Structure 1
Amino acid sequence: MKENTASSTAYTVLQGLVYIAKCTPHSYLVPDEMRRLGECVLSASEEGRARLSALEKPTIRLKTGIREFIFLPGITLHYILRKRCIEEKTREAIAAGVTQVISLGAGFDSLAFRLSCEFPEVNFIEIDHPDTQKFKADAFDHAAEAQSGLANLKYLDVDFTHQNIEDRLRRFDPFDRSRPTLFISEGVTMYLTEDEVIHMFASIRNLSGAGTRFVFTAVEPRESPRNNTRLALFLYLKLIGEPIKWSMEGPLLPAFLEKQGCKLDAIDATDDFKKRYMAPGRHPRLHYGEYVAVAHFE
């Protein structure tokens, strides 16, 4: 990610969610509140407003199709399927007794905001790069004013590549290490080195201890038969300063997690998303290569 600018990927993901809601027959996958908040965040910056405007042009479907063909088939629909899975896992964790949810690298995601309204007894903390976080925090603050404010949602700015997550969170007053906690990391691990990923796991273990839950996404290596990502995407991400640095084959994940003091509880991938969230009928080509993992620290 380039300095002094919000993540290009964060914009792309959010634009994709609004695109699915407004321009496709799969709008049922995007809750109205998620779409509304997405438009609110995009409206808060010049680039976001340009991306919203692009969705109104009659050529948007053609351009999206061409872009996906070149870079990553099915990725736009994948964004909302991935988020539906993570929200489901988060709700399950809260139902099971989690009273603190911490999102690492939240981007422009609205999950913590939406759930903080629904679960006022749960402590929500979002952690992200300040250049990405500032637009969303301001936009959501305006949304919260209509609901008399949200005392249970806090923001902490951290640059994952230059700052120690553990030190920053330990000194953050809203963080309560005594609470049963769920950490979420969506679309983050791929942009970290393996050492940084290992450090993330170690930080979570040191902060919250045994029983802590972790929901995160990871990508298959480019050469994996379970990945349909084009080489062009890897080259493009490197060009914009957001290269993919870490990947992990799904079958190898349990052994990796064991070394981090974790046990894998579940892996959900594209076929699981399709069965669980998509209406019966013909489906467009979907993205393969990224999965959602659920683990807990022992």
Structure 2
Amino acid sequence: MSLMPSERPSRTATKIAGFMLLLDSVPRLAPVLPPGAAVEAEAILRASGAVPRLHVELQRTRLTVRFYEATERLLGQGQLLWFGVRKRWMREVVEQAIAEGARQVLVVGAGFDPLAVSVARRHPDVTCVEVDAPATAEPKRAGIQGGGLACPNHVVLAADLAKKPLEAVLGAAGWRVDVRSVVVAEGLLMYLAPAQVSAFLAQVRACTSPGSRLAFSSMDSDEEGQPRLLFAGRLLGRAIRSALRLAGEPLRWGIAPSAVPPFLTTAGYRVLDQPTPRMLRERFLTPHGLAEEPLAPYEHLVLAEVRDSAG
């Protein structure tokens, strides 16, 4: 999803939330999702008014499941499962950061994902904030309220971060720059221009203390420096990029996994983790008897730490 303003909720945001419901409707795959995430996402979608109620209900029908299974057989199996693995990893790195002292959580470009409000409900002593473009944030706020998920330590902020610095936006939520925090940018950076990615990294550093963490997903890049889906061949990758461009959400940035550590070092971070598909499979699929299940990662995942300016 983009940080740029729009007159309607992000199509990517509603699609990914719908994928959670769909994945939850496949019994063998549902355990991969964070516990309760699909139920919370459904409650938010239903109360948000962002999509028709019928569209929400269709995500859980056997007919829709069969349609996606047939689509994956044609375009590559394991794409739906990837979103579950990505969300499980994001939830776990946030929980680990909280266990190690983080007392603020920020989700940027949150869409209709329940991560921030779910964490807030489990940790009343942790301030949880999410930021998105107004057209997505406002129905998300309504969905959380109408879905009965609101809690005092959680807030949804609507802002155009292309016009207003992140630090200024967070000030409205009582965010403290001197408190250890964890920031999540899931499925976001690939929609930003390279200069916007660098600006985002600088803004995160400006509003967090040293030792804070940043978890994000990123596309790979091809030989021309264009974002590249890890699982897709050249033809399918171009088709997906074209479809996103037509939807008004073009892919703009990618980086090879090997280039991440030096890139982040320059930006004032150090890499803590870059799990490979094999590591993710062993961590999230094998325990559920899914060791041989096809998995098609769209991106690679990165966990980084904000370094002290003197470090």
Aligned mates of 2:90, 2:6 — CA distance in 1: 28
Aligned mates of 2:253, 2:192 — CA distance in 1: 6
Unaligned stretches of 5+ residues in structure 1? none
Q: Counterparts of 1:69-218 in structure 2 under 5 Å? A: 73-144=77-148, 150-169=151-170, 171-218=171-218
Residues 49-58 or 260-269, more deviating: 49-58
Q: Counterparts of 1:264-279 in structure 2 under 5 Å? A: 264-278=271-285, 279=288
Aligned mates of 2:189, 2:228 — CA distance in 1: 20
Aligned mates of 1:248, 1:55 — CA distance in 2: 33
Aligned-pair CA distance for 1:11: 1.1
2:85·2:284 contact (CA, 8 Å) conserved in 1?
yes
Aligned mates of 1:151, 1:225 — CA distance in 2: 40
Aligned-pair CA distance for 1:41: 2.0
Identity of aligned residues (%): 23
Aligned mates of 2:133, 2:263 — CA distance in 1: 27
Q: Counterparts of 1:242-261 in structure 2 under 5 Å? A: 242-261=249-268
Residues 132-141 or 178-187, more deviating: 132-141
Aligned-pair CA distance for 1:69: 5.4
2:177·2:206 contact (CA, 8 Å) conserved in 1?
no
1:5·1:132 contact (CA, 8 Å) conserved in 2?
yes
Question: What RMSD over aligned residues (CA atoms) do the two structures have, in Å?
Answer: 2.3
Residue 239 of structure 2, aligned match among 228, 232, 247: 232
Q: Counterparts of 1:8-27 in structure 2 under 5 Å? A: 8-27=11-30
Aligned mates of 2:173, 2:39 — CA distance in 1: 31
Aligned-pair CA distance for 1:204: 1.3
Aligned mates of 1:40, 1:87 — CA distance in 2: 19
Aligned mates of 1:164, 1:48 — CA distance in 2: 34
1:71·1:232 contact (CA, 8 Å) conserved in 2?
no
Partner of 1:5: 8
Structure 1 residues 292 and 64 mapped into 2: Cα distance closer, same or farther (>3 Å)? same
TM-score (norm 1): 0.90
Structure 1 residues 89 and 289 mapped into 2: Cα distance closer, same or farther (>3 Å)? same
Residues 152-161 or 254-263, more deviating: 152-161
Runs of 4+ in 1 over 6 A off after TM superposition: 223-226
Partner of 2:296: 287
2:104·2:126 contact (CA, 8 Å) conserved in 1?
yes
Structure 1 residues 75 and 253 mapped into 2: Cα distance closer, same or farther (>3 Å)? same
Aligned mates of 2:276, 2:301 — CA distance in 1: 6
Aligned-pair CA distance for 1:290: 0.9
1:100·1:179 contact (CA, 8 Å) conserved in 2?
yes
Aligned length, in residue pairs: 294
Partner SS state of residue 208, structure 1: coil
Aligned mates of 1:68, 1:161 — CA distance in 2: 36
TM-score (norm 2): 0.86
Aligned mates of 1:281, 1:32 — CA distance in 2: 17
Aligned mates of 2:76, 2:128 — CA distance in 1: 32
Structure 1 residues 31 and 101 mapped into 2: Cα distance closer, same or farther (>3 Å)? closer
Letter paired with 1:155: V
